Structure 1
Amino acid sequence: MQSKTLRRLVLLAGAMAISHSAIAGETLDRIKKNGELVGVMDQAYPPYSFLNAKNEMDGMDVDLTKEFAKRLGVKAKIETPAWEVITSGNWRGRWDICICSMTPDAQRARSLDFVTHYYSSPAVLVTSVNGNSLTKVADMEGKKIAAQQGGSYERYLNKTLAMEGFGAKPIQYPFKSVQVAPYGSEDLAYQDLALGAGKRIDGLVSNLVTANERIKKTPGKFKLVGDALYEDPNWVATDKGDKEWHDTVVKIFDDMRKDGTLKQISIKWIGTDISR
Structure 2
Amino acid sequence: MRKFMLLLALVLLPWSLAQVRTFDQVKASGQIRIGTEGAFPPFNYFDAKNQLTGFEIDLGNALAQKLGLKPVWITQAFDTLLIQLNQGRFDFVIASHGITEERAKAVDFTNPHYCTGGVIVSKRGGPKTAKELQGKVVGVQIGTTYMEAAQKIPGVKQVRTYQKDPDALQDLLAGRLDAWITDRFVAKEAIKERKLENTLTLGELVFQEKVAMAVAKGNKSVVDALNQALADLMRDGTYAQISKKWFGEDVRCR
| TM-score class normalised by the smaller sequence | 0.7 to 0.9
Q: How does 1:1-276 map to 2 (within 5 A)?
A: 26-88=21-83, 91-129=86-124, 133-159=126-152, 173=153, 175-196=154-175, 200-220=176-196, 222-276=199-253
Match of 1:17 in 2: none
With 116-125 and 26-35 compared, the bigger mean Cα shift is at 26-35
Q: TM-score, normalised by structure 1?
A: 0.78
CA distance in 1, matches of 2:133, 2:84: 31
CA contact 2:116–2:184 (8 Å) conserved in 1: yes
The AA in structure 2 aligned to 1:248 is A
Give the Å deviation of 1:251. Answer: 1.0
Shift of 1:187: 1.4
Runs of 4+ in structure 1 off by over 6 angstroms are none
1:262 shift after superposition: 1.2
**1:27 CA drift (Å):** 2.8
Distance in 1, Cα, partners of 2:27 & 2:59: 19
Q: Equivalent residue of 1:201, what SS?
A: coil
Q: 1:229 to 1:29 in 2, by over 3 A?
A: same
What residue identity is the alignment partner of 2:164?
Answer: S
Q: Give the drift of 1:78.
A: 1.6
Once the 2 structures are TM-superposed, how far is the Cα of residue 137 of structure 1 from its aligned partner? 3.4
CA distance in 2 between partners of 1:204 and 1:116 (Å):
28
Q: In the TM superposition, what is the alpha-carbon distance from 1:30 to its structure 2 partner?
A: 3.5
Give the deviation of 1:254 after TM superposition. 1.2
Question: Are the structure 2 counterparts of residues 88 and 156 from structure 1 closer, same or farther at C-alpha, using a change threshold of 3 Å?
Answer: farther
Counterpart for residue 13 of structure 1: none
Q: Secondary structure at the match of 1:219?
A: coil
Secondary structure of 1:231's counterpart equals strand
Change (3 A) 1:55 1:90: closer
The CA deviation at 1:90 is 5.3
Equivalent position of 1:164 in the other structure: none
Identical residues among aligned pairs (%): 29
Contact 1:149 1:184 in 2 (8 A): yes
* Cα offset, 1:88, TM superposition: 4.1
Q: CA deviation at 1:177?
A: 3.8
Tell me which residue corresponds to 2:14: none
For residue 270 of structure 1, report the CA deviation from its aligned partner.
0.7
Is the CA contact (8 Å cut-off) linking 1:89 and 1:112 kept in structure 2? no
Secondary structure at 1:206's aligned position in 2?
A: strand
- Alignment gaps of 5+ in structure 2: 1-19
Q: Provide the C-alpha distance between the structure 2 equivalents of 1:154 and 1:58, rounded to a whole number of angstroms.
A: 25
Structure 2 letter corresponding to 1:212? K
Shift of 1:274: 0.8
Could you tell me how far 1:54 is from its partner in structure 2?
1.9
Asked whether the 8 Å contact 1:43–1:49 carries over to 2, the reply is yes
Shift of 1:210: 0.8
Match of 2:4 in 1: none
- Computing the radius of gyration from Cα coordinates, the structure with the larger value is 1
Contact 1:192 1:201 in 2 (8 A): yes
Shift of 1:89: 6.2
What TM-score do the two structures reach when normalised by structure 2? Answer: 0.84
Q: 2-side partners of 1:55 and 1:141: how far apart? A: 40
